[in-house]
Every structure is written in C-alpha cells, then in structure tokens.
Amino acid sequence: MNAQPLLIGGEWRQARELLGAFRAEDPTTGDPIGPAFPLCGAADLEAAISAASTVANELAAAPPERIAAFLEAYATGIEANAEALVDLAHAETALPKQPRLATVELPRTTNQLRLAAKAVRSYAWTQPVIDTATGLRAHRAPLSKPVLVFGPNNFPFAFNAVAGSDFASAIAARNPVIAKAHPSHPATSERLARIALVALQQAGLPSASVQLLYHFDYAAGSRLAGDARLGAVGFTGSRAGGLALKAAADKAGIPAYVELSSVNPVFLLPGALAERGTALAQEFFASCTMGSGQFCTNPGVVIVPQGTDGDAFVATATSHFAAAAPSVLFSRGVLDHLQHGVATLCEAGAEVLAGGTVGEPGFRYAPTLLSVDADTFLRAPKALQTEAFGPVSLLVRVRDVAQMAQVAQAFEGNLTGTIYSAIDGGDDTAWPTVAHALRPRVGRLIGNRMPTGVAVSPAMNHGGPYPSTGHPGFTAVGMPAAITRFTALHSYDNVPETQLPHELRDGNPDGIARLVDGVWRTNDLAHGAS
C-alpha cells in the first residue's frame, strides 16, 4: 500500500501506521482521481499531537510580527498557486472555477488570512483591560496547547482545516494546529499545507506549528478530541460527527467549537409577497441551488402564507426547481445523507413539489422543493427540521402572521433566520411579531436578503444557539471575534511591569486599544496610574 505523506513536525513523511488508503472522487462521474491518501492510525495521531505540543510554548512566545508575517506570506503563497489550487479543488469538489472557486472563495480565504494578520498586528483579539484602582491587568492569551481543526466538505479553501477561519484563528492566537482535512478534497488540502509550510519557514515560526492529517477512524478521532494535551477543537460538519467529538472534548474539559447543522428559516411576510413575490421566488431558487445548495446557511425552510400571493410564489418557485438540471454533489456520502433527509421530511408529511430524484452519472440530485402545511409542521417540528444538505428546501404554508410566529417558536437553534418585509412599510406590525419569536433562536437575523453568503466581517455571527453550534456566544467567521475562541483569559495581579505582556505595559507605543478604567484608550498609561 502506498499513500501520500502526512505533514507532522514540519516534515512530510509516510504514515507510520497506514491502516488504509483512499482517493478523491470526481463528483461528476464518481471515478477515483489523484493519488492515494492515508487513513492513518493511533501512532500517527500521537505523533501529530506530540509534535504540536512540543512547539506550543515556543509559538505562544513568538513575536506577533512573525505570526502576522506567516499569515500574510501564506495568503501570498495561495495567490501564487491560485491556478493549481483552483484546478485541484474543482476536480475534487465539482464547484465551478468561475466565479465560485477563483473569484469568490480563494480571494475570501486570502482576505481572511490577512484580516487575521491585521488583528494580530493591532492586538485587537487580546482585549487588554487595565484597572488602575486595583493594579489588575488582563488580556486574552494563547492556549499554549494545540488546536485540533476539522474542515468540512463544502469550502475547500475558506473553511479548509489548514487554511480556513478556524485555522487562521487558532494560529493568530499563537496556537499550533493539527488539521484534519476533509477526505473529499485531500489533494487541495495537501497543496495548501505545502504552501503553509513554506510560509512558516519564511516567517521564522516553528515548522511543527501546522500538522496535516487526512483521515482516521471515528474512534481514533474521538480519542484525539478528548486528549488532555489539546487546547481546543474546531469543527464544521455533520451533527452526528460534531456531537461525538464535542462529547469526547467536553469530558476532558476541552472547549469544542462545533458548527453542526442549520435549516435557516426564511419568513416571507404578506406585504413582501404581494409586492415582489415573483422576484422572491427567483431569489430563493438561486440561493437554494447555488453551489448545489451545499451551504451551512442554505435556506432550508421557507415560511409562506396561504392565499393567492403565497400560491403564486409557490408556483413560480416550483417551476424554477422543476426546470433545473440535477445538481452535482460533493460525494456519495452527501448524496446518501440528502436522500435520507428528504425521505425523513416526506415521512413526516412533506409533499414533493419538484425534484426528489437522483441523477447520473456521479453524485447528482435534482433541485428539490417540498411543501407542508403549518399544522403538520407544528405537530412534528423535529422531523420537519431535518437538514437535507443540498439543493433542497421545504415550504411551510401558514394561515397568518400569528401562525408564522408559532412556527418561528418551534425552531431549534439556527445559524440564521431571515424575514422578508414590504418596502412600502406594509409589514411593519408583522415584523416584530415574527422577529421576537425568531431572534433568540438564531445567530444572525437577516432582513430582505437570502442567508447564503457569509461576509468575513467583525460584526458577523456565523454561529448560533444549540444545536446549530455548541455554544451561543461565539462566531466561527469574522476577525477578531473568531480568534477569541482559541484563547485563555489571563489576569496579572501585582506583577512587575517588566514581566507584563507587551499590550499590558504602561507604555503603549503601538497605540493598542485598551480598556483602561472602563474607557477604551490608545495612549500610554499615565505615570504612576496603577
């Protein structure tokens, strides 16, 4: 058996315990492509965590300048290899090169790395606090332990375990990373890691700051996530997988930031439907089928009033879905999961309006629209919130705005919730009725815009109440907020000034924003103030 090497301890080396090998598959045909990659065993996981742990203190003490230089060099390296990366990712995921991979996702990834570098240079993620009355000073600091990152299937660049937001966040906070690539795009991940290793060396950081593993079995993954040497876990993927890892990490007291699942309910208020129902049907169809619907924030449930305007919306949406060719999905696993999800929805009372069929060759599924009445939804809200990851959405037909609010209250935690309202103000009384029910159940409340598209912004929340994620207080996207997940709060009490971290000293030559006695300031601390 032969397989590509792993990146452990700064070296590309063969798996010590090669339990198997796998190849990526071309989603459009189902045929294997590219070289074989290792399914590795416990010895390799131990080597990875051991190597990462060895450099954790050195990385924690590294000058922020070097961290920023790495993130920027990595972004530049990705750009220099853009064509090759886009080719690999396209072959492994079937996502279109243009605009998705080349013009949207790759620039988004390098932008994210550079925003992380900016947060490093500004010290924004460290949140320095100085209290002159007590002399106490506090900030956020590295965990001084490795962060284990699991990448999802659906963003080969922007959420890649070795290049995405979790990766950039963990490294920005000066923690080593053990990256677990998604096995559906191993060659893309390998190429990224090769660029990362060069950038580490250019920046003068320990080369064991980044490890790359491709695949290991479920039990080994749980053991790794529960290893007390870890500082945190970052995961984006399926609910079952994320909850298993979270359970293992929880038991060992390791914070696990897991992004699990979301159906992202969209509420169409009556005025919006009356005003622009046909346009909304098109907007909805485009959002639901973009990227074959394989987004965490795909509009999976749409709440539509009964009556003429609602019926017209449904008719238009149905015709869009019915006319669409089958979408190519990432993998056999995604297709299986999707079929299972649609079956669950149908068993719970949903009716197929369009689609619902598998396509050929490779992994294809017809864009699918389902419908159910609100009374049925309210009788089986759990089953009818089953995530069908892919180009699938369920319409819920409600009698009135009051029932919309009832439906909103039946939702589990979601990443997003969207309300479409009339431009002419006709929904101004309906809005708060629905919004008050929806707001506590979602991380991001959206107005008049589909939920797909997650801006890398300091005010983004790509997170939400359980079970969309494991903790309602954190976002996986947006700098500097995403970085704080991988930090520890450190307080200094009567510690000599010369022994304080840079951003907590009296002098503040870099103009770092610090909360001094309750006021954000960028100046030096007045002499003798504490």
Site of tokens 């070795």: 162
Is residue 284 within 8 Å of residue 437, measured between CB atoms? no
For every residue of 246-270, DSSP letters joined together read HHHHHHTT--EEEE------EEE-H
Residue among 4 and 484 whose Cβ is closer to its own copies: 484
Nearest to 512 by CA among 498, 527, 502, 499: 502
Rounded to an integer, what distance in angstroms lies between the CA atom of residue 408 and that of residue 267? 9
Is residue 189 within 8 Å of residue 151, measured between CB atoms? yes
Rounded to an integer, what distance in angstroms lies between the CA atom of residue 268 and that of residue 265? 10
Active site residue 503: no
- Mapped onto helix, strand or coil, the DSSP state of residue 407 is helix
Minimum distance from residue 484 beta carbon to its own copies (Å): 7
Minimum distance from residue 514 beta carbon to its own copies (Å): 10
Minimum distance from residue 411 beta carbon to its own copies (Å): 13
Residue among 255 and 277 whose Cβ is closer to its own copies: 255
Site of tokens 């332990």: 145
CA distances from 37 to 186, 225, 272 (A): 7, 22, 51
266 phi-psi bin (left φ>0, alpha ψ -120 to 50, beta other): beta
Residue of 92, 105, 190, 259 marked active site: 259
Please enumerate in sequence order all residues whose Cβ is within 8 A of that of 227, keeping only pairs 6 or more positions apart, or say none.
49, 252
Residue of 105, 296, 387, 503 marked active site: 296
Residue among 284 and 363 whose Cβ is closer to its own copies: 284
Residue 367: is the preceding peptide bond cis (ω within 30°)? Answer: no
Residue among 143 and 273 whose Cβ is closer to its own copies: 143
Going through 41-136 in order, the beta strands assigned E by DSSP cover 129-130
Helix intervals (H) in 324-400: 332-347, 374-379
Minimum distance from residue 241 beta carbon to its own copies (Å): 15
Residue among 120 and 335 whose Cβ is closer to its own copies: 120
Tokens representing residue 389 in the block: 């990851």
Minimum distance from residue 200 beta carbon to its own copies (Å): 22
Residue among 347 and 517 whose Cβ is closer to its own copies: 517
Beta-strand relationship, 392-398 and 414-420:
unpaired
> Phi, psi at residue 358, to the nearest 5°?
-80, 150
Minimum distance from residue 276 beta carbon to its own copies (Å): 15
Is residue 176 within 8 Å of residue 58, measured between CB atoms? no
Is residue 153 within 8 Å of residue 184, measured between CB atoms? yes
Rounded to an integer, what distance in angstroms lies between the CA atom of residue 81 and that of residue 403? 52
For every residue of 276-306, DSSP letters joined together read HHHHHHHHHHHHHHGGGG--TT---EEEEES
Residue among 13 and 439 whose Cβ is closer to its own copies: 439
Minimum distance from residue 131 beta carbon to its own copies (Å): 4
Active site residue 296: yes
Give the CB-side neighbour count of residue 497, counting CA atoms within 13 A. Answer: 11
Minimum distance from residue 421 beta carbon to its own copies (Å): 8
Residue among 447 and 507 whose Cβ is closer to its own copies: 447
Catalytic site residues?
Answer: 259, 296
